[in-house]
Amino acid sequence: MSVILGLGQTLLPLTFSQFSSRSSTKFAPFACLKAVQPSESEILEQEYRLDGSTEKLNLAPDIFRNELGRPNVFSTIRRAEIILCCDDSLSREPLPPLGNLEFLQATTEMVLGKSSPAEVQNRVIGIQTKSSHEALVLAAKFLRRKLNLEVCLLARPCNAEYWNIFRRAGFNCQSYQYYSDVKGQLNIYGLVADLMAAPEGAVVILDGCAHNPTGTDPSVDEWQLIGHIVKCKKMLPVIHLEAAGLASGDVNQDAWPVRHFAETGVDFLCAQSFDKNFGLYNDTIGQLMIVLANAEHYNKTKQNFEELISEKNVDSSAVSSSRIVAKVLNCREMRNNWSENLLEMHKRIQKIRLQLTDKLIELKTPGHWRNLKAQKGHYMYSGLSRPHIQELKRKHIYIPKSGRINLSTIEPNRVAHLAETINDVLQETRNQNSLDALFSCDHIDAMYQYFQSV
C-alpha cells in the first residue's frame, strides 16, 4: 500500500505539470453549446413586458383569458377538483397503457355521441395523451412507421406546428388551398381542386372546428363534399378538435364533422384537446381517437399502438386531469353547468368580435371586415400583412406574423382604441400595392380561368 501511495505522489505532480503546460484553459464541456433561438411568441411576450406604454396590447397568446386578463377558470372544473381531492376511494395504481378508461369512454362519447354505431360495433380506440399536440405526434409516427404512408396534406394557412410534427415523422408535406386572403373567406373551389389532384392514400389534416388560424370553417354541405372526396380518393383524415364547444358554444355542433366522418364509413383519426374548453392549462391533457371502418382491424391496430407507446416510453399524462374531465362529462348536473359556461365564453368572444368589426366598418377601414363576423372560436384572422404588424408594434400592439388575434385578450374598453389604431395603419398604407397580393393564388386562378375561357 505504501508503494502505491509513493508512486501516486511521484506521478501526479508530473501529470499535472504536463497538462498545465499543454493548456492553461479550464475544462468547459458546455462551451460548445449554441444558443437556442426563442419562439415568436416568446419574443413578443418579452417585447411586450419591456414596453412601458400604458396603451400596450398583447394579442398573441394562445390561452383563453377572462375579463380580468387571467386564464379562464371554470366553476364546474373547480368543483370537480374539490370533490376528487376529498375522495379517499380513488386508486393510486398506475394507469393502463392507453390511459384512464373512464376518461377515454367519456371523451369518445362526447365527440361521437351516445351509443354511436362506431362505438357499439367496437370500431373505436382511445388513447390518453398529454395534449392534442402529443396526440398528433403519436398519430404521425404511427401512420409513417406502421402504415408506411408518405404524403401529408396541410391547409394553407394552418397551424405551423402541423408542419413540424409531420415533417419530423418523415412525411412529404404538401399544402392545399383553404383560405382566400383577397376575398376573406373559405376558398372551397381551390380546396376541392387540390384534394382532387392529390395522390390517393394521402393523409389529410383537417381542423374540426374553429380552424387555426383563420377561424373559417366549411359549411355542412362543404363538409359533406370534403368527406365524399376523401372517401373517393382513399385518403386518411386526421381531424384536430382543439376547442370543442368554443367555436359555436355547443359541443355537439362543433363535433358534427367528426360524427359525419364516422357515419361515412372511412378510417380516420381525431386528436382532441381539453386545455381551452376545460381550462386545464397547467395540467394539460388530450386524446387520440382512432375510428376504424372495419371492426376486424381493432385488435391489430390497438396492439400496434401499444407497441409504439411502449417503445417511445410515452406517458399518458396526469391522472388528475383525466379524472376531472371524466367527472364533469359523466355527471349530468356538472356537464350542464360546463355547457352553460362554454356558451357564456362563446357569447363574450362573439360580442368582442362584432364590436371590433363594426367599429372597423364604421371607420371605413380597408379590408373584408364583414366576412370576419362569420369566423369562429376565440381567434380572429385579421389578414394584416407583416409591414402592418410591424407598424402596429411601433404603436404598442403586438400581433403574431400570421395576423391571428386572440380576442379573449381584448378588454371591452380597449376595443375602440384597437380598431382606431388598425385603421390608422391601414389608411396610411392604403395605396401601397403589395407584390405578394399582386401574385396571390386568387389572382393567378382568375388569370388562369380568363385565359381558359379565351
What is the distance, to the nearest Å, from the Cα of residue 153 to the centroid of all Cα atoms in its chain? 16
Residue 261 lies in a domain: yes
pLDDT, tens digit (0-9, with 9 covering 90-100), for 187-197: 999 999 999 99
Q: Are 210 and 369 in contact (CB under 8 A)?
A: no
**What is the average pLDDT across 224-228?**
97
**Range of the structural domain that residue 100 is part of:** 75-334
Rounded distance between C-alpha atoms, residue 72 and residue 342, angstroms: 11
Rounded distance between C-alpha atoms, residue 221 and residue 260, angstroms: 11
**Confidence band of 442 (pLDDT split at 50, 70, 90):** very low
At 289 the pLDDT is 98
Does 272 share its domain with 151? yes
Does 421 share its domain with 282? no
Better-scored residue on pLDDT, 434 or 162:
162
Identify which of 309-318, 366-375, 435-444 has the greatest average pLDDT.
366-375
Relative to beta strand 203-207, strand 151-156 is parallel
Domain boundary among 275, 304, 334: 334
At 102 the pLDDT is 95
Report how many helices (DSSP H) and strands (DSSP E) the chain contains, helices first. 18, 13
SS (HEC) of 104-161 = HHHHHHHHHCCCCHHHHCCCEEEEEECCHHHHHHHHHHHHHHCCCCCEEEEEECCCHH
Rounded distance between C-alpha atoms, residue 216 and residue 227, angstroms: 17
Question: Cell 368543483 maps to which residue?
Answer: 79
Rounded distance between C-alpha atoms, residue 24 and residue 16, angstroms: 11
Residue 3 lies in a domain: no
At 436 the pLDDT is 41
Q: Are 175 and 187 in contact (CB under 8 A)?
A: no
Residue 136 lies in a domain: yes
Residue 145 lies in a domain: yes
Does 370 share its domain with 226? no
Percent of the chain with pLDDT over 70: 88
At 6 the pLDDT is 61
At 283 the pLDDT is 87
Backbone angles phi, psi at 246, to 5 degrees: -95, -20
Q: What is the mean pLDDT of the chain?
A: 88
Residue 116 lies in a domain: yes
Which of 178-187, 236-245, 277-286, 307-316 comes out lowest in average pLDDT? 307-316
Query: Roughly how many angstroms between the first and final C-alpha of the chain, as a whole number?
Result: 101
Does 319 share its domain with 349? no
At 96 the pLDDT is 87
Task: Flag whether pLDDT at 346 surpasses 90.
Answer: yes
Does 248 share its domain with 369? no
Does 218 share its domain with 246? yes
Give bridge partners of residue 290 from the DSSP assignment.
125, 269
At 449 the pLDDT is 43
At 55 the pLDDT is 92
At 454 the pLDDT is 33
Rounded distance between C-alpha atoms, residue 309 and residue 450, angstroms: 53
Task: Flag whether pLDDT at 212 surpasses 50.
Answer: yes
Better-scored residue on pLDDT, 436 or 235:
235
Give bridge partners of residue 154 from the DSSP assignment.
175
pLDDT, tens digit (0-9, with 9 covering 90-100), for 230-246: 999 999 999 999 989 99
**225 Rama sector, left if φ>0, alpha if ψ -120 to 50, beta otherwise:** alpha
At 306 the pLDDT is 93
Rounded distance between C-alpha atoms, residue 419 and residue 421, angstroms: 5
Rounded distance between C-alpha atoms, residue 126 and residue 272, angstroms: 11
Tally of structural domains, the chain:
2
Domain boundary among 270, 302, 334: 334
**What is the average pLDDT across 176-200?**
94
Rounded distance between C-alpha atoms, residue 165 and residue 143, angstroms: 12
The secondary element (H helix, E strand) that includes residue 405 is strand 404-406
Residue 111 lies in a domain: yes
| Nearest alpha-carbon partner for 100 in 327, 332, 255, 307 | 327
Q: Are 374 and 354 in contact (CB under 8 A)?
A: no
Does 260 share its domain with 361? no
Does 255 share its domain with 142? yes
Helices 441-453 + 188-197 axis angle, to 10: 80
DSSP structural state of residue 33: P
Task: Flag whether pLDDT at 4 surpasses 80.
Answer: no
Rounded distance between C-alpha atoms, residue 74 and residue 281, angstroms: 12
Q: Read off the CATH number of the domain in which 201 is found.
A: 3.40.640.10
Backbone angles phi, psi at 171, to 5 degrees: -80, 150
Domain boundary among 334, 364, 384: 334
Verify cis geometry, omega within 30 degrees of 0, for the bond prior to 157: yes
CB atoms within 10 A of CB 32: 6
Task: Flag whether pLDDT at 452 surpasses 70.
Answer: no
Residue 1 lies in a domain: no
pLDDT, tens digit (0-9, with 9 covering 90-100), for 91-132: 878 888 899 999 999 999 999 998 899 999 999 999 999 999
Does 323 share its domain with 348? no
Which of 90-94, 242-246, 378-382, 394-398 comes out lowest in average pLDDT? 90-94
pLDDT, tens digit (0-9, with 9 covering 90-100), for 401-433: 999 999 999 999 999 999 999 999 999 877 554
Does 51 share its domain with 159? no
3-state secondary structure of 374: helix
Greatest Cα pair distance in the chain: 103
pLDDT, tens digit (0-9, with 9 covering 90-100), for 296-309: 999 999 999 999 99
Does 236 share its domain with 316? yes
Does 51 share its domain with 139? no
At 66 the pLDDT is 85
Q: Read off the CATH number of the domain in which 417 is found.
A: 3.90.1150.10
Residue ranges of alpha helices (H) inside 23-85 are 40-50, 75-85
Residue 34 lies in a domain: no
